[in-house]
Amino acid sequence: MVHLSKKLKKKFSGYKMRLVRFLSTSNGFVLHAFYREGKAEKGPVRKVFYLFFLWIASMIGGGIRGHRVSAAKRKNYTRGPFVDKPETRHYKRPSFPFLAKKILVHDIISFDVFDTLLLRPFDDPKSVFYLVGEQLKCPGFYRYRVLAEKQARAKNLAQNDSNEVTLVEIYEQLQRYFIVDPQKAARIEAKIEWELALAHPYVKQIYSMAKNMGKTVIAVTDMYLPKEDIEKMLQKCGYDMDNIFVSNAYGISKRRGGLYEKVKEAYPDKRILHIGDNFTADVKMARENQIEAVFMRNVNTLGNPHRAFDMTALVGSAYRGILNNKLCSGMEKLNQYYEYGYSYAGLFVLGYCHFIHEKAKHEKIDKILFLSRDGDILKQAYSKLYPNAQTEYVYWSRAAATDLTTGRFRNEYLLRYIKYKISRKYTLAQILASMRLPEMLPHLEAAGFSAETVVTAEIYEELVACFIKHWDLVEAHCLKSEQAAQQYYREKIGDAKKVCVVDVGWAASGFSALRYLIEDRWQIGCEVTGAVAGANYLHDQNIIEAPLLNGKMDAYFFSQRKNRDLKQNHHVGRLYSVFIEMMLASPTPSFTGFSYDDNGEVAFSFDLPETEGYGYIKDIQQGILDFIADYTKAFAKYPYLCNISGADAYEACRFVIARIRYFKRLFGDYPVNRAVGSNGYAMETLKDLIEREYAG
């Protein structure tokens, strides 16, 4: 009875989901409003009412007819990451013990080839045509190649009652659009397929199991590539097949059942087990031909409902393909923090590092300075990608920048240490402790304040006036650390004449401060340029407009000058910047300042370590590095695929940063502090920050 109740509940839930999907995606106005980014979470009852009123509003505003939505757009809104548990734990493959029993009672173990034995690093096999077209120097090749294959199959079907064709026949048909030697072009495509071929790790284990049991192992595939090319691809990936049956060699296919007849003729009276990813061709038709079959679901069919698609064709396909091969193969059970790094931060870090490298080459930059802490994983990735580059990971922070530039940027000091803390109701004692400036207290007391005075907006200007009156104390305090900082940076810069300061964003305060210190105050004789992931500062959208214009500063994702639509939809108030910063989190404490130790050596001070998050930060970083390793290995022959646009990288990030539930569940307990010099006081969690920011 309980089992029946669960079944009915599951069935009802499925119908309910289909109804909600239909009502929320068939009308453009409703679709955008219901799935809009940054929306507050609603319970099931509120969702029903909300959907109902959206439909009423839509009909009053002109009816449904003018708001039809394409299938692609519907999918863009309804795709999303898994929230409840790691993606790798959502997919169930036939277990190895189950498969071992199946293999044991059969004589011949047959495998489909593409998407079963072999994987491509693309989610769409046709993406290979872009690479072929580039080698053939034909810009419209992708479209021509798709048309030529359709026409070649139609022609063969009309003449020979078979739609199976060879690769050369496809290229002969392609002459209608593009003149090329069919034999030569076919060899190029076959070579690229060979270069990209990867073994399916789960199926490779099944293959090894069958081999170890002494079974005859064969491959059966519907494919236009010649048998010898398929054999080379299988051998490259560690497969030694006893026989290979290719549809174009016989003019018959698995999908129509004829190829299975050939297999049965080759192995009469043998028990045959076939494993493949296409239910019709590999399961249904195999069983109709009295061949036992096991369905091995395609990694791309599993993964693509949970992937970003608003990306350029080639990089988007590569990105999704790499993710699907890793997360959907069935071989790995990973945690969500690792998957977060692999799935979303990996493409960003890879693309950003390539962007920095191209900037360094173009501008003849001698050394790249990665600022702590966001620069930690960027430096690790960059050094793996470009081991010969001159790079340094340097200590820096908003606190250090604020202290070291008091001689120039007075208001920055006052804003960060006083004004931005008004909402937190800090006392003057706490403010002075964060400044490490207790000598200011007598002057504040003389002005009518006490150590226990709570800083408010009403007294802010009076406090500012007192600090400005005694600004010599502020500068004297900061001068102690400035000498140590200057020595440190002189050593790090060395004999470089031009350096690039790399940070995540968003106001480029690190670049601005270091540029002033290195070029003007310290006069090191080194030109400073900068790079940020994105330029979008909440308080002043044009804060680095001039450096962006004159080329001193570059932004990867967006700025006022680049990808402005992305910038406008980057909701700072919805913590998008915070969530991207978390992609570059480092398992190290915040740096607070420079000084000298008792031996006269440069010393560094750090705030309390936020050890609560270090474990999963390490997992995130490992996921990032593994994605970069997998991506660059897969496309080692095609390095231009690392030229990932900021728009593509941002879309991979946006896909997850727009899902507030994802962050609340994964990172709700992560300690955060956005105010300079106050880590030593009561910390809030990311969940606290989310609830405060989303309250409006």
Q: Which tokens hold the place of 376?
A: 């930690």
Q: Which tokens hold the place of 228?
A: 């010898």
Distance from the first to the final alpha carbon of the chain: 46
519 DSSP assignment: I
Residue that is written with structure tokens 């999918």 in the block:
75
Side-chain half-sphere CA neighbours of 361 within 13 A: 7
Residue 160: the pLDDT is 87
Listed ranges 172-181, 471-480, 572-581; the one with the highest mean pLDDT:
172-181
Q: Which tokens hold the place of 526?
A: 């080194």
Residue 65 has pLDDT above 50, yes or no: no
**Per-domain boundaries in the chain:** 2-78, 366-575+595-601
Q: Which long-range contacts (CB under 8 A, 24 or more apart) does 512-515 make?
A: 512/544, 512/547, 513/401, 513/404, 513/405, 513/409, 514/369, 514/396, 514/401, 514/489, 515/552
pLDDT, tens digit (0-9, with 9 covering 90-100), for 177-214: 999 999 999 999 999 999 999 999 999 999 999 999 99
Three-class SS state of 243: strand
Task: Identify the weakest region by mean pLDDT among 18-22, 293-297, 391-395.
Answer: 18-22
| Beta partners for residue 28, in sequence order | none
Q: What percent of the chain has pLDDT over 70?
A: 87
User: 304 pLDDT band (50/70/90 cuts)?
Assistant: very high
CB-based burial, 18-43: b 16+ in 10 Å, e otherwise: eeeeebbbebbbbbebbbeeeeeeee
Say if CB 188 and CB 158 are below 8 A apart.
no
Mean pLDDT of 616-640: 97
Q: Which residues touch 675 (CB under 8 Å, ≥6 apart)? A: 416, 420, 421, 424
pLDDT, tens digit (0-9, with 9 covering 90-100), for 238-284: 999 999 999 999 999 999 999 999 999 999 999 999 999 999 999 99
pLDDT, tens digit (0-9, with 9 covering 90-100), for 404-430: 998 888 988 898 889 988 888 889 999
Sequence letter at residue 136: L
User: 675 pLDDT band (50/70/90 cuts)?
Assistant: low
Which carries the bigger pLDDT value, residue 299 or residue 505? Answer: 299
Sequence letter at residue 311: M
User: 528 pLDDT band (50/70/90 cuts)?
Assistant: very high
d(CA 183, CA 471): 80
Q: Cα 383 from chain centroid? A: 19
pLDDT, tens digit (0-9, with 9 covering 90-100), for 74-105: 666 667 898 989 999 998 899 999 999 999 99
- Three-state secondary structure of 615-658: HHHHHHHHHHHHHHHHHHHHCCCCHHHHCCCHHHHHHHHHHHHC
Residue 671: the pLDDT is 79
Largest CA distance in the chain: 104
- Three-state secondary structure of 96-128: HHHHHHHHHCCCEEEECCECCCEECCCCCHHHH
Q: Which tokens hold the place of 421?
A: 């803390």
Q: Which long-range contacts (CB under 8 A, 24 or more apart) does 645-648 make?
A: 645/312, 645/315, 645/351, 646/351, 646/355, 646/555, 646/556, 646/557, 646/558, 646/562, 646/563, 646/566, 647/311, 647/312, 647/557, 647/563, 647/566, 648/311, 648/312, 648/315, 648/316, 648/319, 648/347, 648/351
Q: What is the mean pLDDT of the chain?
A: 89
d(CA 430, CA 236): 65
Residue 117 has pLDDT above 90, yes or no: yes
| Beta partners for residue 119, in sequence order | 198
Which carries the bigger pLDDT value, residue 122 or residue 663? Answer: 122
Name the nearest CA neighbour of 112 among 289, 294, 326, 261.
Answer: 294
At residue 638, φ and ψ (nearest 5 deg) are -135, 65
Residue 407: the pLDDT is 85
Residue that is written with structure tokens 């990735």 in the block:
381
Q: Give the burial class of 264: count Cβ atoms within 10 A of its Cβ; 0-12 exposed, 13-18 middle, 19 or more buried.
A: middle
Name the nearest CA neighbour of 403 among 482, 346, 349.
Answer: 482
